[in-house]
Amino acid sequence: MASLARRPFHANHAPFEDRQDDPLAKVLLPPPNESPEQRAFREHQQREATRVSVEIDELLQEDRKAYERRKKAVKVLLLGQAESGKSTTLKNFQLAFSPAHFRNERLAWRTIIQLNLIRSLKTLLEIMQDEMASPTEAPPPPPQPITQPQSAAPLTDVHRGARKRLLPLLLIEAELTRKLFPELAASASPPGSAAPSPVPGMPGVKEVCVRAGNGWKEVLAALQKEKRGKGATSPTEELTAVLDACREDIVSMWEDQAVKGMLRRRNVRLQDMPGFFLNDTNRVASASYEPTDDDIVRARLRTFGVEEHRFTMESGASGSEWYIYDVGGSRSMRPHWIPYFDDVQAIIFLAPLAFNLMLEEDSKVNRLEDSITLWREICKNPLLEGATLILFFNKASGAMDILQATLANGVKVQKFVTSYENHPNDVTSVVKYFRDKFKGYHKRFSPKPRPFYCHETSVIDTRATAVILVGVREGILRAHLQSVNVI
């Protein structure tokens, strides 16, 4: 080393071919007795190594560009408990600002809506089976057409026959469910089975479900092309054909007075449940059915995990790139929210005004109280101090304004939320009370002052929600431009 240091600079940095004492140069020299074939192979290897190196450099460059684009993109997080309307809000965003992308997925949603219809039918058939198996059931009267009004009459052999004809639909539904979400296959256990649910914390799931990131739309696209033999139909074509064949039986059963009387006695309101399409059976079960925008927004698809949705604005702020994260709202999923708090510009928090309902995971916890607790934690989280918080009071469930219907039935808020005390039991007063409550926690727990945004929504009302989302988009964009020092 000492002798090397004493050498002139140009001697240490001589041209490569002149540096005979460089060990690397010696290694890279071709063998002294290299044959033409060996030389050709060596040069091929060198060219291949150069090609791979260039490809890696290009990939790194693309990754850098993608990272820069992502830094400039608008990132929005949808938060709220399970069934609060997050996925419906996302679909409203896509419909309002990226309609071409939204409508390109219409065929996939057709199958989901058909499965929603069958899930409601499945619940109805299960209730009928329980009713017919009840030891207290009176002897059935002589069979009559099931469309005849008979509100107080028990179910008859005609109902049994109709139920039996509809059972093949459940087999097709179970097969498609296994393909969409294999982990849930075991949950379709026979009645009385003690098999545990394969999804922790979600026993007896009775909804159309997918695992986040499993590419369910691609799975459905593959199923639409899948043929099981020459002249055979795909699973989705079979579903459509069988639904069309069963359409009259489904309509007759749903409109039957004895069935309606059974549901009233058992205090079951299927029409209040998400993804309810039994009132639209004639249209949805038709072989020529094409989903409308409202159908897609109303469709219920439960997602387990965190789903990233990237789309480019086609209207308004045309060309701007948005990332919206739809996260599972069940209690077991909430610890997985934290990684998505970093670098998020806005949070849309969905709070259903369901003051008289309890959590699915814990029947002792009031849903609205749980939303308030969750909102308080979001407000005080230091990772979110720079994020814009937007509160959506979602008043609808299924196909109706659940808050108005609940209050109209004489249900008192004070019975479930004691702090409400003697405030008037009407929609305006209830909404104002809880808005003030959420606003107070927002002001008290935010690490630094920030504006409070609150909207009353019915996320299944696409037109009204679109008007609200335009204002939300402008507010988010303004805050985003301020954060990157553009304005």
**Is 399 annotated as a binding-site member?**
yes
Contact (Cβ atoms closer than 8 angstroms) between residue 356 and residue 87 = no
Q: DSSP letter string over 414-445?
A: HHH-GGGTT---SHHHHHHHHHHHHHHHHHHH
**Is 354 annotated as a binding-site member?**
no
**Is 285 annotated as a binding-site member?**
no
**Is 157 annotated as a binding-site member?**
no
Q: Which helix (H) or strand (E) holds 400?
A: strand 400-401
**Is 409 annotated as a binding-site member?**
no
**Is 401 annotated as a binding-site member?**
yes
Closest CA to 87 of 216, 201, 240: 216
Contact (Cβ atoms closer than 8 angstroms) between residue 213 and residue 305 = yes
> In whole angstroms, what is the distance from residue 360 CA to residue 364 CA?
9
> In whole angstroms, what is the distance from residue 413 CA to residue 421 CA?
8
**Is 320 annotated as a binding-site member?**
no
> In whole angstroms, what is the distance from residue 372 CA to residue 370 CA?
5
Q: Which helix (H) or strand (E) holds 79?
A: strand 74-79
**Is 294 annotated as a binding-site member?**
no
Residue 10 token pair: 């140009």
**In Å, how far are 108, 205, 366 from 193, measured between CA atoms?**
32, 14, 30
Cβ within 8 Å of residue 160, ≥6 positions away:
132
**Is 394 annotated as a binding-site member?**
yes
Tell me the binding residues for Mg(2+). Answer: 303
Tell me the binding residues for GTP. Answer: 394-401
Tell me the binding residues. Answer: 303, 394-401
